[in-house]
């Protein structure tokens, strides 16, 4: 056996260093270096398990996604799970990952498609109790609570399921590899073995992975390049809303979104997310505006809220939840330099209601207007939406699929939309206010701009 050599690998950025250090020299993350074995302790040469084949001889339909029957889950994955694929579902503990996958297993089981749940995290009784509470169809579900990868693979070989769910990748270990379950080397190696198993057997595999708020735990981050699909299951543990989004997808577009509500009977798909996102809205409060955003193929209406208060200490705070911090800084700079709305000495808080993360520039205009409204204290008319990208010169630019966004706004009863000069006609029931600049939009809404501070 080769002599064992160690290195230290960063669980955040995957860089390696020969020595342990408190801070990763590559990405600067603290306490992220984890010791792992470099030498191949198993010493086995890789087996040649795939021969070269003619591309034309492969049946492309074999790789088609198969619906599971949980419609929001299938929508997010553009149709369902692909045989032989590996999907990683990451999320904070307690968010509902095990519940979601038990419901997926149940839906498959209803049509007699076999599912194996390898759960080292919970006992079979716990799972059975939850299954009973959820009214799960369990006739085709097998549970294996071993934490040994070899044992799990042995059970898989005898059960021959269509889907293997591993809950979670951090609690499973291969005794031939050093380190306890959850260490970087175990997580990586177990996942690699499961990936190669999925590819050779055609079994769809779903790996559940825990991430902490900082996303720093060994696991999901390390595996992104190994697996075919990476989903993130998010939401506020204290609120019922859960959003499943696709970060990476080899079989369809990323950016699709499934919306669920956690109820006493498990997760329920939300067919009309805009209604839910806007449900508890307080109209007539300064600093808030509704923005139509595009998530995958769907337009959704979400409320963007901002609040400003005089900064107490030195540097004013900038807090952004659901919008990129860089975007917030840019819009504040444009407001100050091009519009004359000054927030330089104010603490600024911006947040998107419902735990949604806006990842496109289409919400710039809305963010600018919400901030102008917060600074001036003038509320924005509650039946108005705003959609457009803002450039550094303060100009408002067109965004993709404006039509779809405006239609969603019209469907939800909105009356007015602030949009760029170019772009599609208004759908029925919506009056368009076309603006060339953020300053024009601020004026059009009567958000009086203050004189520049002297």
Q: Which residues bind ligand TYD (CB under 6 A)?
A: 91, 93-99, 130, 133-134, 262, 264-266
Pairing of strands 288-295, 241-249: unpaired
Both structure tokens of 278: 């806007």
Minimal distance, residue 102 CB to Mg ion, in Å: 9
Tokens for 446, please give them: 């009567």
- 39, 26 Cβ separation under 8 angstroms: no
Element (H, E) at 73: helix 71-76
Cβ-based neighbours of 129, under 8 Å, separated by 6 or more: none
Instruction: Give which of Mg ion, ligand TYD, none residue 93 binds (C-beta under 5 to 8 Å, depending on kind).
Output: ligand TYD
Is the separation of the CB atoms in 83 and 251 below 8 Å?
no
Rounded CA-CA distance 131/101 in Å is 11
130 binds, among ligand TYD, Mg ion, none (CB under 5 to 8 A by kind): ligand TYD
Q: How far is the CB of 168 from ligand TYD (least distance, A)?
A: 8
Q: Which does 262 bind (CB under 5 to 8 A by kind): ligand TYD, Mg ion, none?
A: ligand TYD
Closer by beta carbon to ligand TYD, 165 or else 353: 165
Find which of ligand TYD, Mg ion, none residue 324 binds, CB within 5 to 8 Å per kind: none
Query: Nearest approach, Cβ of 209 to ligand TYD (angstroms)?
Result: 10
Write down the least CB distance from residue 323 to ligand TYD, Å: 25
Nearer to ligand TYD, 97 or 405 (CB): 97
Q: Is 447 helix (H, G, I), strand (E, B) or coil?
A: coil
Contacts of Mg ion in 188-247 (CB under 5 A): none
Nearer to ligand TYD, 114 or 210 (CB): 210
- Give start and end residues of each alpha helix (H) in 214-347: 220-223, 273-277, 325-334
CB of 237 to ligand TYD, least distance (A): 7
Side by side, which strands form the sheet with 163-167?
141-144, 115-119, 163-167, 204-210, 86-91, 229-235, 241-249, 257-263, 266-269
Distance CA 132, CA 371 (A): 48
Distance CA 192, CA 390 (A): 43
We find the least distance from the C-beta atom of residue 89 to ligand TYD, in angstroms, to be 9
Residues 67-126 that bind Mg ion (CB under 5 A): 98
* Surface-to-core class of residue 164, CB atoms within 10 Å of its CB (0-12 exposed, 13-18 middle, 19+ buried): buried
91 binds, among Mg ion, ligand TYD, none (CB under 5 to 8 A by kind): ligand TYD
Contact partner, 297, from ligand TYD, Mg ion, none, Cβ < 5-8 Å per class: none
Alpha-helical runs (H) found in 335-377: 364-376
Taking the least distance from each CB to Mg ion, the nearer of 98 and 232 is 98
Nearest approach in angstroms of CB 425 to ligand TYD is 44
Q: Which residue is nearest to Mg ion (CB)?
A: 98
Q: Which of 32, 98 has the CB closer to Mg ion? A: 98
Q: With CB cut-offs between 5 and 8 Å by kind, which of ligand TYD, Mg ion, none does residue 341 bind?
A: none
CB of 100 to Mg ion, least distance (A): 9
Residue placing its CB nearer to ligand TYD in the complex, 98 or 387: 98
> In terms of CB distance, is 91 or 322 closer to ligand TYD?
91
From the list Mg ion, ligand TYD, none, partner contacted by residue 171 (C-beta under 5 to 8 A by kind): none
Say if strands 318-321 and 288-295 run parallel, antiparallel, or are unpaired: unpaired
Which residues 6+ apart lie within 8 Å of 263 measured at CB? 240
Nearer to ligand TYD, 141 or 445 (CB): 141
Q: To 5 degrees, how large is the angle CA 50–CA 54–CA 58? A: 80
> CA-CA distance, 390 to 368, in Å (whole number)?
8
Work out how close the CB of 57 gets to Mg ion at its nearest, in angstroms, rounded to a whole number: 42
- Closer to Mg ion by CB, 119 or 274: give it: 119
Binding partner selected for residue 264 from Mg ion, ligand TYD, none, CB under the kind-specific 5 to 8 Å limit = ligand TYD
Q: Closer to ligand TYD by CB, 95 or 206: give it.
A: 95
Closest to 246 measured CA to CA, from 224, 266, 268, 270 = 224
Residues contacting residue 431 through CB under 8 Å, at least 6 positions apart: 415, 416, 417
Find the shortest distance in angstroms from Cβ 220 to Mg ion.
Answer: 14
Site for Mg ion, rule CB under 5 A: 98
């Amino acid at each position: 056996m080769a002599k064992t050599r160690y290195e230290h690998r960063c669980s955040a950025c995957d860089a390696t260093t020969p020595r342990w250090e408190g801070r990763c020299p590559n990405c600067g993350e603290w306490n992220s270096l984890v010791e792992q074995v470099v030498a191949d302790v198993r010493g086995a040469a890789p087996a040649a398990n795939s021969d070269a084949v003619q591309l034309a001889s492969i049946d492309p339909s074999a790789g088609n996604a198969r619906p599971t029957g949980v419609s929001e889950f299938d929508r997010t994955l553009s149709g369902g799970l692909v045989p032989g694929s590996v999907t990683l579902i990451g999320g904070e503990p307690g968010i509902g990952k095990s519940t979601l996958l038990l419901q997926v297993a149940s839906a498959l089981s209803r049509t007699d498609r076999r599912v194996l749940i390898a759960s080292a995290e919970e006992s079979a009784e716990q799972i059975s109790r939850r299954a009973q509470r959820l009214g799960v169809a369990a006739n085709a579900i097998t549970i294996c609570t071993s934490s040994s990868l070899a044992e799990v693979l042995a059970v898989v070989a005898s059960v021959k399921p269509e889907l293997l769910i591993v809950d979670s990748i951090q609690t499973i270990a291969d005794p031939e590899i050093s380190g306890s379950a959850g260490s970087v080397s175990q997580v990586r190696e177990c996942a690699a073995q499961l990936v190669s198993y999925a590819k050779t057997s055609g079994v769809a595999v779903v790996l559940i992975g825990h991430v902490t708020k900082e996303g720093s735990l060994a696991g999901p981050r390390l595996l992104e390049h190994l697996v075919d699909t990476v989903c993130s299951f998010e939401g506020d543990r204290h609120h019922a809303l859960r959003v499943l989004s696709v970060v990476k997808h080899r079989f369809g577009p990323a950016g699709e979104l499934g919306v669920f509500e956690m109820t006493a009977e498990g997760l329920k798909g939300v067919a009309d997310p805009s209604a839910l996102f806007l449900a508890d809205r307080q109209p007539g409060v300064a600093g808030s505006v509704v923005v139509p955003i595009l998530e995958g193929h769907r337009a959704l209406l979400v409320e963007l809220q901002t609040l400003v208060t005089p900064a107490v200490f030195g540097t004013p705070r900038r807090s952004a939840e659901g919008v990129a911090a860089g975007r917030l800084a840019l819009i504040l700079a444009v407001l100050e330099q091009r519009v004359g709305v000054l927030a330089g000495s104010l603490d600024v808080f911006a947040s998107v209601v419902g735990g949604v993360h806006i990842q496109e520039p289409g919400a710039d205009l809305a963010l600018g207007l919400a901030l102008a409204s917060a600074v001036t204290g003038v509320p924005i008319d509650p039946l108005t939406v705003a959609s457009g990208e803002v450039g550094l010169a303060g100009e408002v630019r067109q965004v993709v699929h404006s039509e779809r966004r405006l239609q969603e706004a019209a469907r939800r009863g909105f009356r007015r939309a602030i949009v760029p000069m170019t772009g599609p006609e208004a759908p029925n029931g919506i009056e368009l206010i076309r603006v060339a600049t953020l300053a024009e939009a601020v004026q059009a809404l009567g958000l009086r701009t203050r004189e520049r501070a002297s």
